[in-house]
Amino acid sequence: MFSYLRERFTSHLRERSRRRARLVSKDGRCNIEFGNVEQSRFVFLIDIWTTILDLRWRYKMTIFISAFLGSWFLFGLLWYVVAYIHKDLPEFNPSINHTPCVENINGLTSAFLFSLETQVTIGYGFRCVTEQCATAIFLLIFQSILGVIINSFMCGAILAKISRSKNRAKTITFSKNAVISKRGGKLCLLIRVANLRKSLLIGSHIYGKLLRTTITPEGETIILDQVNIEFVVDAGNENLFFISPLTIYHIIDKNSPFFHMAAETLLQQDFELVVFLDGTVEATSATCQVRTSYIPEEVLWGYRFAPIVSKTKEGKYRVDFQNFSKTVAVETPHCAFCLYNEKEAKAKEKKGYDNPGFVLSEVSETSDTKM
């Protein structure tokens, strides 16, 4: 029992270390940290719109509430100052014929309420500005304009945050593992991707990047060196009809970085395969990108995906997502090099070859029999 728990704990730690080593998580988030940035953080305030949109919801709502409460309280203080300077407050004992700048402001609380009513245009009709002083009229105009700007910016930021195509990307899912098996007589790396909504992604395009550490002939070590990985489906990799789950595949040929890998050495490799799906959301016409990654432990050699699409008796097509990431073991060559050598050997068996160095010498037979 103790050995079993220790093994589970060790595997859990190993899995956590692998997750920390990922550049892109399974849900598409990038695990990267920027350090010693020379530019000041004020450059992010220049692009304040993008900064607000990139904030998490708890920070965005804090800014949203603080912006409104802060403006109400600030203008409440200004209205109180106007009433104080004009001696409209009850502690000054104004005369009966005294006309205040703002009716019925008796203190800081009533000034805050008037500021709130002015900025959100409630207009209860109990407190109002008079024509007695131009300062109050100017402050009323300034608060109204600033209130419209704050409302437009904050409400627009909330709406843009809700309608970002990043949320649409959550309904695109990739298979948990990638598999390597034969497809069409070629050794291929296959990945399954599905659209969980019935609305399509227009102009979808799938491609991949293989991230690994390489050493150049000059001795330079390049961490996160990127190698293009071409993925295709039977109908091509452009303008996919993404109505049902698709199986994309990468042909492992002599130009593929997987060509020199084998089933026995796959887990010893150090790479991360990042897969991207770009498309345009049909409902909003906004572009979105979905990404995921696979490490060597998540690439299964000698497997293929189980069938997922079937046709019912009523003539409808049914997609069973229970088999979405399910794999089935199949006979597969141990390496791409073995497969191509086997094909070349079979091709040579069907051909004949002349040996130009071969010389047929004729030997004349002599007889020693005398007649």
> How many structural domains does the chain have?
2
Measure the CA–CA gap between 14 and 56, rounded to whole angstroms: 30
Q: How would you classify the pairing of strands 178-183 and 299-301?
A: parallel
In contact, 304 and 179? CB cutoff 8 Å: yes
Could you tell me the residue range of the domain that residue 313 belongs to?
168-347
One domain for residues 191 and 340: yes
Instruction: Look at residue 237 and tell me if it is in a domain.
Output: yes
* Spatial separation of the C-alpha atoms in residues 97 and 42, rounded to whole Å: 53
Positive/negative CA dihedral, 139, 141, 144, 149: negative
Give Cβ neighbours of residue 307 (< 8 Å, ≥ 6 apart): 323
Q: Using the 3D structure, point to which of 163, 193, 210 is the last residue of a domain.
A: 163
Residue 26 inside a domain? The answer is no
Together in a domain, 100 and 215: no
Residue where a domain terminates, one of 134, 163, 192 = 163
Domain with 207 in it: what CATH number? 2.60.40.1400
Residue with tokens 């093994």: 7
- Dihedral Cα 138, 144, 145, 148, nearest 10 deg: 170
Find the CATH number of the domain harbouring 99.
1.10.287.70
Give the closest residue to 291 by CA, choosing from 9, 75, 25. 25
Does residue 263 sit in the same domain as residue 297? yes
Domain boundary pick from 163, 186, 215:
163
Which residue, chain included where needed, has tokens 């005369």? 95
Residues 159 and 260 in one domain: no
> What's phi and psi for 212, nearest 5 deg?
-155, 170
- Same domain for 201 and 325, yes or no, is yes
3-state secondary structure of 63: helix
323 and 190 together in one domain:
yes
pLDDT of residue 47: 78
Residue 18 to residues 274, 275, 322: CA-CA distances in angstroms?
15, 18, 27
In tens digits, what is the pLDDT along the chain, a chain of 371 residues? 566 666 666 665 555 554 446 888 887 777 777 776 666 666 777 778 888 888 888 998 999 999 999 999 999 999 999 999 988 888 888 888 888 888 888 899 999 999 999 998 887 778 888 888 888 999 999 999 999 999 999 888 888 888 776 777 778 889 999 999 988 888 999 999 988 887 778 878 888 999 988 888 888 888 888 889 998 886 555 667 777 888 889 999 888 999 888 888 888 888 899 999 888 887 777 788 889 999 999 999 999 999 888 888 888 888 888 888 899 999 888 887 777 766 555 555 555 555 555 555 555 555 554 44
Tens digit of each residue's pLDDT (9 = 90 or more) over 298-355: 999 999 999 888 888 888 888 888 888 899 999 888 887 777 766 555 555 555 555 5
